Every structure is written in C-alpha cells, then in structure tokens.
Structure 1
Amino acid sequence: MWSADRLTGDYPSRHLDGRHPDPKMVLMDCFRIDESGYTGFDLLNADQRLQGASAIAISDDDAARLIRDHFPTLQAAELKYRALARRPANHPRLIGLMRDALSAHKCTTYVCDKRFLLALMFVDYAVEPFYYERNLDLYADGRNYAMASLLHSVGPTLFGAGSYRRLMAAFQRAMKEKSPTGLKALVAAARAMNWQALDEVLGPLATGSRACLAAIATPGVSTDAAMVVLQALITRMEEMTDGPYRMEHDQSKNLLTYHGLIQKLIEHEDEIEFRQSEIARMKFPLKLAEVTQVDSKTSPAVQIADILIGAAIEAGNMRAGLRKGGPDPLAVLSLYAEDQFIHLLPSIDFEEQHRFRSGTQASEFIDYYAANFGSMS
C-alpha cells in the first residue's frame, strides 16, 4: 500500500537494538516536508491565523506522476497550492490529487491556531514558573492546556479585546527583546487589566513574579513556532515508521535555523521515552537518521507536501470565516484519515482534555529537553 522513497546509502542509521548494520543494506522511508503560515515570532499576525506543515513519504517519481495525472497541462515550473487554488476550475483537480496522495502514502499534517499557541506559551513562561516555585505541577494531566484554553476563550470578552491583544503583543515582544523595558511594559499591560477577574492566570505577572520574568528573559526562548511544528511532525513520523527514515524540506530560512537542533536530536543516544498525550510520545534514540534541505522547484514530492498543507490551512481559515474562494473545506478535511491530521486548538471541554492528557510526562520532558538540547522554542 505504502509508496515511499526507498534509498540505500551511507546514512547514520541503526537498528533499535543499537547494532549498526551495513549502510548499503538499509532501506529508508523519506518524508518530504513543507509548511505554511510562518510569521516568525509574531503569532498575532492578522493575515496568518494558522500555521502548520505536512510530511509525506513519496518519491519524486511518484509525485511527478501524480502531478501529471491531475494537472496534465500545467505550464508552471512549480506546483504551488496558492496559485492553483485561485482558479475554481482547479479545485476538483486539487481534491483528486490530495485524495490519491493521502490514500496511498504515509503522511501527516499538523495545524495550530497561532493565537492559542501564544496563550499556551504565555502560560508556559508567564504563569507556570510561579506555580513551579510552589511545588505545583501545572503540566500534570494537561492543566496548562486547560488554562491556556480558558485564557484564549474568555480573555477577549472578560478583559476587552483591545486589552487582551495588548497583553499578548507585549508578551511576544518581551519574549523577543529580552529587555528590562519590554518586561516592564508587559507587567504594566497586565496591571492595566482587571487581572483579579482571572488572578490564577494573570496574578503571577501582575504581581511581578521574578520567576516568571526570569523565564521570559531566558536567552534563546521565543514565540517562534517553527520548532513546535517540526516536533509535532517528528512525533508522528516516529509512529509511522518501523525503522530508520530521513526527511527533506524546502530551503526556507526559518527551517534552516533549526538544522543544528534537529541534528542534535538525531544524534542523541540516550534510551528514554516520554508520554505527552493519549496519542503522542517522544522516544529516544529517534528513528530519524538524516535531515536535508532541497529546492522545491526540483522536488515534485515537496510540491505535493505544499498542496497538502496549503489546502489544510485554507480549509481551516474558511471554516473560521477568514477566507473565501478556495476548495470546499469540508471536502478537503474529509480526505484526511483520523491519524493523518493533528492539530493544536483550544478546547474548554476540560474533562476530555484531562482524559486525553492524563498521565502526561510533559514536565519531565521539558526538563530533559532543556538539559540536553536547550530551550523548547
């Protein structure tokens, strides 16, 4: 059923028992990756509410064949979702291409609501250190997700949309600049609100928690979501493969920034596993053996990944009433099997969130990650 690049070569792969096999005898899946919606540290960007990425294990030959089958008269040098989706006549062809790709290849797509992710980061840096000092694990059973969902859902109404946005804008500026001026402005933004109405969330910042301000000022941490997205894809690719695999992605500056960190993840030899949710685990050593960048113009497989994530992002925006004119969003989203689509969205169904994240080792994973690789951002 599965069609993927099966490559031989001198790759730093290994069996799960630690033995190093003859590299020439190793067959690897190759996942091609593309992303959409990246706006750097600015998660409040009005034109890009969603961010995500798709990974698909398909060869360039199979991808080129799919493109020829569905767009036989295509004249453009590169298949790009945004250009194709502008013409309604292309919508059935896009749906058909996606259906064939998703039904015959290992793939996963991740989409996050960037404003919710910003609220989640706010809880991580501007709230959690206060509770940590008091021996309260805010990550246990997904309490941080519940708190961020509450803040994201009721904040604009409870505090006023303008005040809430100013708080979030001040937070992401403080995370980026690491300056006393930025930290002071953030505390002032919290104190200017009716913060007592949700003091368990805003109280630490409004009262000037030194632990929270120190966490925000930590060098290297930011609100850039690129690594969050990549880690989500890696988690799923690890589940989809039985042995070593590699990944290729487009030559984007933001992904190049994380090349060194991904290589450190690949080279990490400790045998350890962390439960993150009902469906997500991170286990070291990774099966991921190599990551490379390619020019999407010469990679039909990366172009297929562009179609998958572009369509998913647009479908989400259309469902939210933020975009018009693309393919039917319900038709697009129905193409994905349940295990092919993952998302980071707010949920105020706190009982379900507790069940889904019960027993999470998020706190232990964050400590381990920081000790071995640096920040999570």
Structure 2
Amino acid sequence: MECFRIDESGYTGFDLLNRDQRFQGATAIAIDDEEAARLIREYFPRLQAGELKYRALSRRPGNHPRLLALLAELLRAHKSVTYVCDKRFLLILMFCDYAVEPYYYERGCNFYEDGQNYGMASLLATAGPTLLGKSEFEAMLAAFQRATKEKTPAALKDLVRAAQKTKWRELPEAIGPLAQYAAPECLSAIATEGVTTDAALVVLQSLITRMEVMSDGPYRVEHDQSKNLATYHDLLCRFIGHEEEIELRQSEIASFKFPLKLTEVVQVDSKASPAVQLADVMIGAALEAANVMTGLRADGLDPEKLMPLYAEDQFIHLIPSVDFAEQKQFRRGTQAAEVIDYFAANFGPKK
C-alpha cells in the first residue's frame, strides 16, 4: 500500500501571531525508507548525525547545493505536496469567518460568494494597519485570538472594545459588525465550541486534498512522534473514521470528499525513518524560503533557486492577494460556508 510520510514545521497551536514563527506548513511525500536512506547517503555521505535535520544542514552554506539537488530529485521523482501558510493572514481570514460573516448571514448576504471573505481578509492584511491604526489593528487581532480560545464574556467584551479603538469607520464593512453593533451573532460564533484558531486542521485539509488526488487507491500515512504532531495525528484518525459520504468544493482546483482513501496513520520515531527525515527537509526548506522572501531572515537557501523546482500542483500557499479579479475567478462557486460548518461540527474538540 502506498505510504505518504508527513512532517510539519511552525506549529504554535492557537497562537497565530507568534513573532518568531510567522509561517506554518507541512509536507507529505510518497517515498519508502529504503529509497530515502539511499538518497541521504548519496547527497550527504559524510553525515555524522544520527538524523538528517534541515535546520542543521542549512546553517552551513556549503550544504546548500547538495540540499537543492536532493530537493530537485525528490520533487521530480516522487509524489509530494507542500503547504505553507502565513499564520497572521490565516488569523485575519478566521476573523472574517467568525467576527464578520455571521453579521452578513443574518441579513441574507452570502459573504463567501466567489471568495469575498478572501478578498476582505487580503485587504485587511495589506491595508488594515494603515487604515485602522497599526497598534490598534494588532491589538484587535490579539483580542480576537484570545476570545476565540477563552470564550468568556470578559474576553468577548475586550474584543469589542479593541475593535472600537481602531479607526473602524475607515473600513466599516469589516470592523463595523463588532465596533458599531457588537453583533451578538458574531460573538456567539466566536464563543461556539469547536471554533479555534489552531491551524492544524487547515494544514491537514490541504495535504489530504492533494494526497487523495495523487493516490490511485487506499494509502497510509506515517509521521514523527513529536508533540506538535499529536494534534495532526488525532485529526487524521478522526478523518479516517468518518464514513459519511459528502463532497465539498473549496476552490477552482480543490474539493474535500469523504470517506477518504486514507486507511491508516502511524506514529514513528523519525530517527529510525529516513523517509520522515526527508519530509522534514522539504518543509524546512519551504518555510525558510518563505522567511527569506518576506525579509524575516537574511540567510538560508536561495528562494529563487528553490521555488522553480516545484511543479504547479506540488506547492500550496495561503497568503494575501489583492488581485481581486483573480481570486474571484479562483473561488467562484466555493462552498466555503458549508466546509467551515461541516468541519466545525464533525472535527471540533471532543466533548
């Protein structure tokens, strides 16, 4: 049975404003341990450590040509997908989903039609600090994150106050529901059990969407035993056990269909799994490239050499886009509302 090895990086739980880790992502690659071990020996024959780790390799510029060559072969010869998201943008998108959309829903407006939520989130991400006040905007996002986690009346009141302290009249369509009306439907959505800012579900949805397409039949997943991947493991197990037949369209190229072809998920010790180590190398390189491209890091693997190695269907990213016409076309006919409701109802925290 085909097996995808998964590794993640940048996971910070509910905290999507972590300054040290702006990006989160994961890689899934279909490769067995024997082939992975051969490639590691071929590209890093002098490796002394007991485990191949991207961060340790990347620190030495002399390793960069070999890393690029290894990544080129992995991407050319093996099925894989890498997902990277800007966590701050994801938090803003969640703000639109729960602190804005319910207000419009109550008034008969489909906020998700043709990706309007992505358009508003992109506008907020790029122009929000200027229009609303930089410190006030950041304080509002922090208050939203805390309210979504704590779900207490005090945290919800603090969120409304934070929204009111922004220059919300500059963008009332987005901030008005909270700042002007303290919309109870929005506060209720934020306080709903299962609503969370943890990005693990978003990352897994993207990986599984591609793995389901890449697999010709039933397949399995192996991943490291790390604490961060415990949430991923639990969600994967619940996905496997979900037997209801349903298909939900997310975008022009992505849909999610249950039941999955995925049949098993297993935790392994990465030290004993060369294949999982290569997944670590792949996601490490992708996140490092994202940090270099956005100026958050000055050194590392050259993004201009790395990014052309990916085929179009091997790399998924979630970042702001102010090309609203393109986004409208890409998300035309989306069932985003149904996707959010379905996953919140079926895969929220266990009661």
TM-score by length of 2: 0.96
Residue in 1 aligned with 2:245?
A: 271
User: How far apart in 1 are the matches of 2:37 and 2:191?
Assistant: 47
Indicate whether 1:326 and 2:300 are aligned: yes
- In the alignment, structure 1 segments of 5+ residues that lack a partner are 1-27
Residue in 1 aligned with 2:121?
A: 148
Residue in 2 aligned with 1:281?
A: 255
User: How far apart in 2 are the matches of 1:287 and 1:87?
Assistant: 40
User: How far apart in 2 are the matches of 1:357 and 1:194?
Assistant: 30
User: How far apart in 2 are the matches of 1:374 and 1:41?
Assistant: 13
Which amino acid is 2:112 matched to? Y
Q: Any idea what SS the aligned residue of 1:150 has?
A: helix
- Which one of the candidate residues 50, 54, 65 is aligned to 1:81? 54
Indicate whether 1:55 and 2:28 are aligned: yes
Q: Any idea what SS the aligned residue of 1:330 has?
A: helix
Which amino acid is 2:138 matched to? R
Which amino acid is 1:359 matched to? G
Deviation track 1:36-68 (CA, whole Å, cap 9, x = no partner) reads: 111121111111111100000000011000000
Deviation track 1:3-40 (CA, whole Å, cap 9, x = no partner) reads: xxxxxxxxxxxxxxxxxxxxxxxxx2100001111112
User: How far apart in 2 are the matches of 1:337 and 1:157?
Assistant: 36
Residue in 2 aligned with 1:13?
A: none
Which amino acid is 1:232 matched to? S
Report deviation, 1:148: 0.6
After TM superposition, the structure 1 stretch with the greater mean CA deviation from structure 2, 227-236 or 252-261, is 252-261
Provide runs of 4+ in structure 1 moved above 6 Å.
Answer: none
After TM superposition, the structure 1 = structure 2 runs for residues 204-223 of structure 1, keeping only pairs within 5 Å, are 204-206=177-179, 207-223=181-197
Taking every aligned residue pair, what percent have the same amino acid on both sides?
68
Deviation track 1:82-137 (CA, whole Å, cap 9, x = no partner) reads: 01100011111111111111111000000001110010000011111111111211
Are 1:140 and 1:363, in contact at CA under 8 Å, matched by a contact in 2? no
User: How far apart in 1 are the matches of 2:152 and 2:196?
Assistant: 13
Are 1:141 and 1:359, in contact at CA under 8 Å, matched by a contact in 2? yes
Residue in 2 aligned with 1:173?
A: 146
Residue in 1 aligned with 2:228?
A: 254
Residue in 2 aligned with 1:196?
A: 169
Indicate whether 1:120 and 2:93 are aligned: yes
Q: Any idea what SS the aligned residue of 1:122 has?
A: helix
Indicate whether 1:106 and 2:79 are aligned: yes
- In the alignment, structure 2 segments of 5+ residues that lack a partner are none
User: How far apart in 1 are the matches of 2:345 and 2:41?
Assistant: 48
Are 2:201 and 2:235, in contact at CA under 8 Å, matched by a contact in 1? no
User: How far apart in 1 are the matches of 2:139 and 2:343?
Assistant: 31
After TM superposition, the structure 1 stretch with the greater mean CA deviation from structure 2, 128-137 or 51-60, is 128-137
Indicate whether 1:72 and 2:45 are aligned: yes
After TM superposition, the structure 1 = structure 2 runs for residues 210-359 of structure 1, keeping only pairs within 5 Å, are 210-359=184-333
Deviation track 1:183-208 (CA, whole Å, cap 9, x = no partner) reads: 11111010011111111100111121
Q: Any idea what SS the aligned residue of 2:309 has?
A: coil
Deviation track 1:275-328 (CA, whole Å, cap 9, x = no partner) reads: 110110111111111111111111110110011010011111111111122121
Q: How many residues align?
A: 349
Which amino acid is 2:340 matched to? I
User: How far apart in 2 are the matches of 1:84 and 1:259?
Assistant: 27
Indicate whether 1:38 and 2:11 are aligned: yes
Q: Any idea what SS the aligned residue of 2:171 has?
A: helix
Report deviation, 1:263: 2.1
Indicate whether 1:185 and 2:188 are aligned: no
Query: CA 1:54 to 1:242, structure 2 compared with 1: closer, same or farther past 3 Å?
Result: same
Q: Any idea what SS the aligned residue of 2:320 has?
A: coil
Deviation track 1:224-246 (CA, whole Å, cap 9, x = no partner) reads: 11121111101110111111111
Which amino acid is 1:295 matched to? D
Are 1:226 and 1:254, in contact at CA under 8 Å, matched by a contact in 2? no
Query: CA 1:342 to 1:258, structure 2 compared with 1: closer, same or farther past 3 Å?
Result: closer
User: How far apart in 1 are the matches of 2:198 and 2:31?
Assistant: 29
Q: Any idea what SS the aligned residue of 1:321 has?
A: coil
User: How far apart in 1 are the matches of 2:235 and 2:25?
Assistant: 19
- Which one of the candidate residues 64, 70, 83 is aligned to 1:91? 64
User: How far apart in 2 are the matches of 1:175 and 1:363?
Assistant: 18
Are 2:194 and 2:344, in contact at CA under 8 Å, matched by a contact in 1? no
Report deviation, 1:167: 0.7
Which amino acid is 2:313 matched to? D
Indicate whether 1:373 and 2:336 are aligned: no
Report deviation, 1:258: 4.3
